[in-house]
Structure 1
Amino acid sequence: MDRGQTGVRPRNDSIVLDFTYQGQRCRETLRVKPTKTAMKEASRKREAILYEIAMGTFDYGVHFPYSKNALKFAKNKAALITVESALKSWVKLAEKRCQHSTIRDYNSAIYHHLIPNFGHLSLDEFTVAHVYEWLETINISNKRVNNVLGPLRQALQEAFYDGHIDQNPMDRFRYLSPDTREPQPFNHDEISRILNQLDGQERNLIQFAFWSGLRTSELIALRWEDVDFPNNRFYVRTAIVRQREKTTKTTSGIRTVELQPAAKEALESQSEFTKGNHRVFNDPTTDQPWKGDHIIRKRIWIPALDQAKVEYRNPYQTRHTYASVLLSMGKNPMWVAQQMGHKDWGMIRKVYGRWIEA
C-alpha cells in the first residue's frame, strides 16, 4: 500500500483527502477501506478536484454532497437543503421564543402536512405551485390552511435571510380568506332552559360563561385574585391551553371586564365552593381545577343542551351570546370589543354588525 501520495492518507477504515479551496484547507473523508486500489482512485479524485479548482468549475456539493463544507461553498445552496431540514431547523429556533402550545401547533402542521407533502423537495425545487397542487387534495378550512402554511412561510423566510434562497416562494401565495361563520347566539329562553338543567358548580360555570364573554381557556384559568367584587369587575390575565397556564391569546386579551349582574351572581354562588382555592372554577367530580374545555363540553354542555331540547351549538357561542346581548342593549361597540379582548372594534363590526343599533 502506498501511503506516500500527497494529500491522500488512510485513516482507520476510510481515506482522507486534503486540499485547499478558496484559501481554506479542506479535509474530506471517503468511507472506503484504504486498499492499494482505493488509494489510487482517491488520488485521481483529488487530482480531478485540483484541476476543477484551477479551472474555476469545482462544485463542492457534487463531490461531497453530505459535507458541511458543501453548503458553505455551494454555488447553489438551495439545491442542498430540503424543505424538511429547513422546517426542522426553523421550529428548533422557534422553541426558544414561543409557548409550548404554539410549538405543539407548529409541529402538528409540520409533521402531519408539510413534511409529508413537501419535505422531500429541495429549496431549489420547491415552488408555490406545489402548494396549489396540495390544496386540491385536502378538505380543511381556509383558516386551518393558513395556520398549516405559517411555519412553511416562516422557515423559507429564514432561509432567505440566511442567503440560501434569493426570494421566499411563499411571498407569491396569498393567505386564504377565513371562512365566515355566522354567530349563533342563544336567546334568553334558551339560556334559561340550559341553566335549568344544571346546578351547583356546573350551573355557576355555564352561567358565568354566558355573561362574561370569556373564551373557555380563560374561563377555567380565572383566579379569585382576579375578581374585584368591591369595584364590580374582574381581570383576564391567563388562559389554560393543553393543561398549561399561559398568558391570554393576544396582548389586548389582558383586560379588565365589568361584572354583569348574572355573572356576579354566578361568582357569589361559586364562592361557597372554591373561595379558599386558587382557581374560581373546579371540576366537581375531582374537586380540582378543570384540565380542559373538552371535558366541560362532553360532560356538561352536550347533556345540558340535549335535556333542554336546545339546538346544539358549540360552547364558544356563549361568547357570541354575550356580545350580541350587549350590542342589542345599545352598548358602545368599542367598549364591547375591549370587554371581549379585541384590539379594536373591527372584528365586532364584521361579526356582530346586525346586532349593532344604527
Structure 2
Amino acid sequence: MASIRSRNGKLFIDFYYAGVRCREQTDLDDSVLNRRKLERLLNTITQDINLGIFVYRDVFPHSNKAAQFTEADEQALRKKQHNVHLVMDRQQKLRSTDFAAMAVDWYETNLCRWQPGYQYNIRLIINTYLLPVFGSQQLHEITRASILQFRADLAALKPEKSADFINHVMGTLRMILAEGAARYNLPQVFTNIKTLRVGQTEVNPFTLQQMHNLIEAVRADFKNYYIVRFLTGLRTGEVDGLQWKYVDFDRRQILVREALTDGKLGPLKTPSSRREVDMSTPVYEALFLQYEQTGKTCPFVFCTRANTPLDHRNVWDRIWAPLLKQLDIPYRRPYETRHTTATLWLGAGENPEWIARQLGHANTKMLFTVYSRYVPNLTRQDGASFEQLLKSHRDKKG
C-alpha cells in the first residue's frame, strides 16, 4: 500500500508501480503541512496508476528508477494522449462544446455530492468507456443512433459486461449529455432510451464446510480477519476500515461508523449502513486475540506490519485468490463472505429483521429476494416443518 514515510527527518514516498516497489526521496522536512502536500500528490499518483495513465518520468524526472519504466511510461502516455482532453486546461475546454470538456466539468462540479468510492467509479467510466468513443466529438455531433450503437458495443465486449454495469455507463453518459444540452441550448438526444433489464442478483455464498476449511487453511495472521468477515457480514471497506475505538467488548458489539475506500476513511455506503453488529462468540474471541496483536500499536483492527490499513487489492492477490486455489474452491469474490453470513443466519432461523439490521439493509426485501433460495439447502428442511405440523395435527385427531 502506498505511504509517506520519513528518513533522517526528510519525507519520502513509498509505493508500487508496475509490480516494483518504489521509494522516492524528497527535500521536504517531516511536518504536518508537508505530509498533507505529499498525500495529495500520492493520491493523484495512486489514481493515475489505477487508471493506467501514470507516467513515472513526468512525476520523478530526476529519479534513477525512471529509466526502468520506459515501456510502462510509453503505454501510459499513449492512453493519456488518447484522452488528452482530460488533462487540458479546464478553462480552455469550457470555451468549446466538445464532449470531453463537458465530461470533465460535469465530473468536477459534482464531486461534492459523491463519496470517494463513487468518484472513482465515475472517473473510471469516463476515462475507460466514454472518452475513447465520444472524447473527440462535439456535443452536437452525438446522435441517438451513435448512443444506441455505443450501448450495443458495450454489450458485445469480452469478458461480458452485466446489464447493471452497462446501465451505469449509459446513465453517466445520459447525465453528461443532459447537462451539456441545458448549458448550450442543444436538443436532448438521450431520450426514450430504456435501461436494460437487470435480472435478479445472483449470489454465490460458501457452504458452512467451505467456510470452515477456508478459516482453517488461511495464513495465521489473517485467520481472525476472515472469522470476522464470514461471521459479521461486514463489507470490505467496513472491515478494512474498522478501528479499535469502534469495538465494544463490554456490549459485544462492532460499531460500523466509517469505511475505507482507496486507502482513505470516509462515510458509509448508505444511511442504514451505520449500525451496531452483535458479536457471536467466535467473533468476540477472534477480536480479543486480534487485540493482543494490533490493539496497542495500531488504530486499525486489521493492519499491515507498518501499522497502515489493509489494501484490499493486495489482500485479494496475496491471500484470497491463492487460498481458494489451494483448497480447489471455484473462484468467487471476497464480497461473498457477506452473502455467506446472510445465508448462515437465515439457515439458523434468525429473525429476518435482526439480520437486515446486522447487514445494514433498510428492510428485509433483499433477504427474501436474494438469499432465501439458499435457506433450504442450509437447513435441509425443504418444507419439513410444514409436514411435521400436519403430521402432529393428524396424530392428535387419531
User: What's the TM-score, normalizing by structure 2?
Assistant: 0.64
Q: Distance in 2 between matches of 1:113 and 1:198?
A: 37
Residue number among 172, 178, 188 corresponding to 1:151 in the alignment: 172
Change (3 A) 1:113 1:199: closer
Q: Distance in 1 between matches of 2:211 and 2:105?
A: 49
Shift of 1:199: 4.9
Structure 1 residue 228 corresponds to structure 2 residue 248:
yes
Q: Gaps (5+ residues) in structure 2? A: 1-90, 377-382, 384-398
Residue number among 87, 106, 120 corresponding to 1:104 in the alignment: 120
Secondary structure of the 1:234 match is strand
AA at the equivalent of 1:274: T
Q: Distance in 1 between matches of 2:307 and 2:116?
A: 23
Residue number among 300, 311, 318 corresponding to 2:330 in the alignment: 311
User: What's the TM-score, normalizing by structure 1?
Assistant: 0.70
Q: Distance in 2 between matches of 1:183 and 1:104?
A: 24
- Report the counterpart of residue 280 of structure 1 in structure 2: 301
AA at the equivalent of 2:319: I
Alignment RMSD? 2.6
- Report the counterpart of residue 203 of structure 2 in structure 1: 183
Residue number among 85, 107, 111 corresponding to 2:101 in the alignment: 85
Q: Distance in 1 between matches of 2:302 and 2:111?
A: 31
Which structure: greater helix fraction? 2
Shift of 1:179: 5.3
Q: Distance in 2 between matches of 1:150 and 1:187?
A: 36
Secondary structure of the 2:139 match is coil
Residue number among 215, 218, 222 corresponding to 2:238 in the alignment: 218
Shift of 1:287: 4.1
Q: Gaps (5+ residues) in structure 1? A: 1-67, 73-79
AA at the equivalent of 1:329: A
Q: Determine if contact 1:194/1:310 at 8 Å carries over to the other structure.
A: no
Shift of 1:84: 2.5
Specify the structure having the higher radius of gyration (Cα).
1
Change (3 A) 1:273 1:157: same
Q: Determine if contact 1:240/1:292 at 8 Å carries over to the other structure.
A: no
Shift of 1:202: 0.7
Q: Distance in 2 between matches of 1:171 and 1:348?
A: 35
* Larger CA deviation: 91-100 vs 319-328: 91-100
Change (3 A) 1:103 1:230: same
Q: Determine if contact 1:141/1:179 at 8 Å carries over to the other structure.
A: no
Shift of 1:281: 0.7
- Report the counterpart of residue 321 of structure 1 in structure 2: 340
Shift of 1:307: 3.0
CA deviations 1:175-194 (Å, max 9, x no partner) are 22345453222222212211
- Report the counterpart of residue 110 of structure 2 in structure 1: 94
Residue number among 359, 366, 378 corresponding to 1:340 in the alignment: 359
Q: Percent identity?
A: 29
Change (3 A) 1:263 1:177: farther
Secondary structure of the 1:95 match is helix
Change (3 A) 1:335 1:127: farther
AA at the equivalent of 2:232: S
